[in-house]
Amino acid sequence: MADRDPRRWDTTAAEGAGAELHAALLIADAPLLPVRNRSLLLLAVMMVAICQFLDATIANVALPHMQAALGASQDSISWVLTSFIMAGALGMPITGWLSDRVGSRNLFMGSTVVFLAASAACGAETSLAGMVICRFVQGLAAAFIGPMTQTIMFDVSPPSKQAHTVTTFGMIVMVAPISGPFLGGYLTDYLSWRWIYYVNLPIGIPALVLLWFLLPSRPIEARKLDVFGYSALALGLGALQLMLDRGQHNDWFNSTETVIEACVGVAALWMFFVHSAFTRRPLFAPALIRDPSFVVGCGFMLVLGITNISLSAVLPTMYQTLYGYPVIFSGVLMAPRGIGVIISSQFTTRLMTLIDYRYMIVLGYAVASGSLWLMTSWSLAMDWRPIVLASFVQGLGLGLVFAPMNLIAFSGISPELRPDGSSLLALFRNLGGSFGISVIMTIMARNQQIAHAGLETHITALSLPAAQTALGGGGAAPSPALIEGLVGRQAAMIAYLDNFKMIALLLLAISPLPLLLKRTQKTVDLEPFAME
């Protein structure tokens, strides 16, 4: 029992057995793990998932309040976010191994307990060092909750119900990061920044009680961890996340720290790939890497992280700094995006019975690209209506993508590999978010400088009377500080529009790629979740 069963991991016999099990479940329309009350169990699992996904973005708006309360500097307070992200990168790759070693029930419930305890500790913490440690523990538990949520929802649902299940999971994944800034701003303004962590308790504790009575478990297996492979991957991902998170602050490769992080990340990831290609027992099953649908699904998850997580992080800042909207209203302006996701998700299941999954992904990315192109026409003089329209259309597009993309990714994966597959998809989604935020912030900073320099050339003695008239007339010429502020806002707006155009073109370019995949069999039941 000290070694992993080679038939399960390293031979085609294991893949054949997994395929037979997958086919048997499809024929019988039976779940991998039968449960007494699937709907109630799914509700509990989704409640935990909501807490986990909210915490990825809910703390962003409260950082200034936390900085004052903890006596931290502007640079050091960012570690509250960095520690959470780093822990996620370190924990996700071993989710499948832990699920086999301790059982999926024990892993999910244990992670939930640790997550809730760390949330309470974060809310009560009075020092920066303690906060960073608690956030790291919270992020590590969250790293297991996300992939295991998707695994459990697949495991307890028969094939005919999986489209509904994945659609619901997709709504959580897409809407929770959007809702985080609004909820965080509301709790910070009307209660305290500590409640962005305490809010997890009244949601998570009842869910934990339900999980205790309803959650089944996969069998425990003596699967040996690829220690070298995991160490190389963890080191590479950790260095990469640090580089992405701190690169803009450090002026990227003009900083020795960023250069070291990049070199360590590239070298460690290269060692991981070489080691995985030649070892008999790699960290991830070769069947995952050999499945083209799953590999493409990981790529699309990376893009989804760029479009959903990164935009959810930067748009509230734009609304507050350029349009002067308060935190609460900035969060309200993010709501149409979530409403669009919810509405389109409701129609996704029915559409998947009528339209090839691949065409739905193409349509979803094309609609999202069009919404971002609408955003390139924004101006400082407009009101909130164009924001609501573009955000709603973007939500409609993104809501069409998640469920069919996941079903395609898992279509050729045997049930025993779902924990590893879910962890890889979640990892790529998070990497896409980190990469997207870094790229957007870097391009925006540099384009803002270029636009600022270009606009300054038009500020001359001849143009000052026109500026004075635009500002309301009067005898005195506008002050240099006022002119500098106006030019800075216009330059920042141009930089945001450039980013919107870049992401729109990216989505348009990748939208036809799903057509290269094989047609996926549609096995979707139109009935909603049934109480069982």
One-character DSSP codes across 199-240? THHHHHHHHHHHHHHH---PPP--PPP-HHHHHHHHHHHHHH
pLDDT at site 208: 92
Distances (CA, A) of 189 to 108, 113, 126, 185, 505: 33, 28, 19, 6, 38
Q: What is the mean pLDDT of residues 247-266?
A: 83
Q: What is the mean pLDDT of residues 244-268?
A: 83
CA diameter of the chain? 88
The pLDDT confidence band at residue 116, using thresholds 50, 70 and 90, is very high
Residue positions counted in the chain: 532
Share of the chain above pLDDT 70, in %: 86
- Is pLDDT of 45 > 50? yes
Burial track 436-464 (b if 16+ CB lie within 10 A, e otherwise): bbbbbbeebeebbeebbeeeeeeeeeeee
State how far the Cα of 56 lies from the Cα of 63, in Å rounded to an integer.
13
Highest mean pLDDT among 110-114, 321-325, 360-364: 110-114
For the chain, domain boundaries: 28-214, 226-282, 288-458+471-524
Residues 6+ apart with CB under 8 A from 396: 340, 341, 343, 344, 367, 371
CA angle 118, 123, 127 (to 5 degrees): 95
Q: Which residue has the higher pLDDT, 161 or 513?
A: 513
Average predicted confidence (pLDDT) for the chain: 79
CATH topology of domain 288-458+471-524: Growth Hormone; Chain: A; (1.20.1250)
Looking from the CA of 339 toward its CB, the CA atoms found within 13 Å total: 12
Helices then strands, counting H and E runs in the chain, come out as: 23, 0
> Tokens 């301790």 — which residue?
102
Q: What is the mean pLDDT of residues 314-319?
A: 81
- Beta carbons of 402 and 174 less than 8 angstroms apart: yes
- Beta carbons of 396 and 352 less than 8 angstroms apart: no
- Is pLDDT of 520 > 70? no
- Beta carbons of 201 and 31 less than 8 angstroms apart: no
- Is pLDDT of 93 > 90? no
Q: What is the mean pLDDT of residues 326-341?
A: 81
Residues 6+ apart with CB under 8 A from 359: 514, 515
Lowest-pLDDT choice from 14-18, 165-169, 174-178: 14-18
CATH hierarchy code of domain 28-214? 1.20.1250.20
CA angle 440, 445, 448 (to 5 degrees): 115
pLDDT at site 525: 42
pLDDT at site 190: 80
Per-residue pLDDT reduced to its tens digit, 136-156: 999 899 989 988 888 888 888
H-type alpha helices, 376-510: 385-399, 402-410, 418-456, 464-470, 480-510
CB burial of residue 195 (10 Å; 0-12, 13-18, 19+): middle
Q: Closest by alpha carbon to 296, among 145, 419, 413, 142?
A: 413
- Is pLDDT of 226 > 90? no
Token pair for 345: 């998700």
pTM of the full structure: 0.79
Category of 474 on φ-ψ map: left (φ > 0), alpha (ψ -120 to 50) or beta = left
Q: Which residue has the higher pLDDT, 18 or 82?
A: 82
pLDDT at site 529: 34
pLDDT at site 531: 32
